[in-house]
Amino acid sequence: MSIEVQSLANRHRWLGRRIGDFAIYLAIALVVGFGIVWFAFNAHDTKDESIARWGGLVLNTAILYGYVAKQSRPFWHAWGFWLAIILVLAIHLLTFAIVFQHIAHWSVLWFLVMYPVEIPLLSIVCDWTVHITGGRPKY
């Protein structure tokens, strides 16, 4: 009888986590949706391709750094890993901000150049920083 109660309690916890996850996803979708609607009504002249520039930067940066963070899960406990991620992200964003100020036409496809450049760079910098700070991977 106690096994059934425990199983029911575990199922109830699992359902609670799923509902919480769904609520978070829904909140993110609403924020993004309202942001798009707000931008559509308030940005009348976007001849400078700001959506392609900044939207592409946000999307591609999230994909790139999300991939690196997922692949580097054994290093999440090491503060050197997060330090390296934050420093390279700051350089990444500063570089693109400067490039966007000096380039008149920007194609979203040009973001694809950053993947073969930044993924090896991030791997090398994160590994080196974790090694220097004495971190060890936890598998």
Same domain, 14 and 65: no
Burial 30-52 (b: 16+ CB within 10 A, else e): eeeeeeeeeeeeeeeeeeebeeb
pLDDT exceeds cutoff 90 at 98: yes
pLDDT exceeds cutoff 90 at 91: yes
Q: Which of 114, 106, 111, 102 is nearest to 46 (CA)?
A: 106
Same domain, 95 and 134: yes
Give the model confidence (pLDDT) of 27-81 as tens digits: 988 988 887 777 777 666 556 577 778 888 988 999 999 888 888 888 888 888 9
Same domain, 133 and 87: yes
Same domain, 14 and 80: no
DSSP letter, residue 104: S
Same domain, 50 and 111: yes
Same domain, 33 and 65: no
Domain holding 92, by residue range, is: 46-139
Cα 18 from Cα 76, distance rounded (Å): 24
Q: Which of 72, 76, 85 is nearest to 122 (CA)?
A: 85
Whole-prediction pTM? 0.65
For the chain, the farthest-separated pair of C-alpha atoms sits apart, in whole angstroms, at 71
Number of domains into which the chain is organized = 2
Helices (H), the chain: 2-42, 50, 56-71, 79-102, 114-132
Same domain, 75 and 102: yes
